[in-house]
Amino acid sequence: MTNAKNIKLEIKDLVIGYGDRIVLQDLNFHVRSGEIFCIMGGSGCGKSTLLKHIIGLFRPQSGDILISGQSIVNATAEERRLIMRHFGVTYQGGALFGSMTVAENIALPLREYTDKSRQEIEEIVNEKLELVDLAGFGNFMPSELSGGMCKRAGLARALALNPDLLFFDEPSAGLDPITSAGLDRLILSLREQFNTTIVVVTHELDSVFAIADRVIMLDKASKTIVADGSPADLRAHSENAWVREFLSRDGLKRNAGEQ
């Protein structure tokens, strides 16, 4: 039995959709503190839509989302704002503001949510830049960075408030294998150094097998979770043939060809 105090994120009987269209239903899972947890599935299964609901951008049709035991679904606006201070999000491409320098992007949540002085904010920005191997790039504009550097800058911004929960949306998308592997190592180091709980939406198998403690597999046809476990165990022993195929290299090639 899982200790409730050890659960960082819990999804209960979640149903999400738009109007009469159900995207995902009957979702029940949890993420333990310090765990690296991946959300996987074929193209169009609702992975990113689920993430947007978890972080409070959309309201589910029913069910609940608990972050450190607090419901983000039933929270007041002020309560939701406080909950959101305790997690960070990195979006595809980094989602940096193009009219602001890298340092200004990272400083934004500190200016929004804290009363720290300009000097304190500058020190934190430099600390986060060093953490993601971007020391010296604070005065660069996002357009002057490579794709991998933009993603790391986005991560530095997500880390600005020292969250104990991080969400990644397709962190390796569009990156070459070497840059992607470097990002995987950075994710692992965050967990090792700070015991950060990390939730990753991805379909990149190399990354999943490199970083994930546990994964869930979403199925577009049934609109729910069809597997939950370690990627190696699911690939070898899942009773669902599609799950075994998806988590194999042959399955990856076939899935890529369908997209």
Write the DSSP string, 171-203.
TTTT--HHHHHHHHHHHHHHHHHH--EEEEE--
Q: How confident is the model at residue 173 (pLDDT cuts 50, 70, 90)?
A: confident
Kindly tell me if the per-residue pLDDT of 111 is higher than 50: yes
Mean pLDDT computed over 67-87: 92
Kindly tell me if the per-residue pLDDT of 256 is higher than 50: no
Cβ contact 177:203 at 8 Å: no
Kindly tell me if the per-residue pLDDT of 257 is higher than 50: no
CA atoms within 13 A on the CB side of 97: 11
Q: How confident is the model at residue 252 (pLDDT cuts 50, 70, 90)?
A: very low
pLDDT of res. 239: 94
| Unique residue bearing structure tokens 């599935």 | 41
pLDDT of res. 2: 53
pLDDT of res. 64: 98
Tokens of 150: 């933009």
pTM over 0.85: yes
Kindly tell me if the per-residue pLDDT of 223 is higher than 60: yes
In angstroms, the CA 53 to CA 63 distance is 11
Which residue in 148, 149, 147 sits closest to 138, CA to CA?
149
Q: How confident is the model at residue 93 (pLDDT cuts 50, 70, 90)?
A: low
* Fold assignment, 4-86+163-258: Rossmann fold (3.40.50)
| Unique residue bearing structure tokens 């999943």 | 208
3-state helix/strand/coil string of 113-135: HCCCCHHHHHHHHHHHHHHCCCC
Span(s) in the chain for CATH 3.40.50.300: 4-86+163-258
Instruction: End-to-end CA distance of the chain: give it in Å, rounded.
Output: 39
Kindly tell me if the per-residue pLDDT of 219 is higher than 70: yes
Query: Residue 62 corresponds to which amino acid?
Result: S
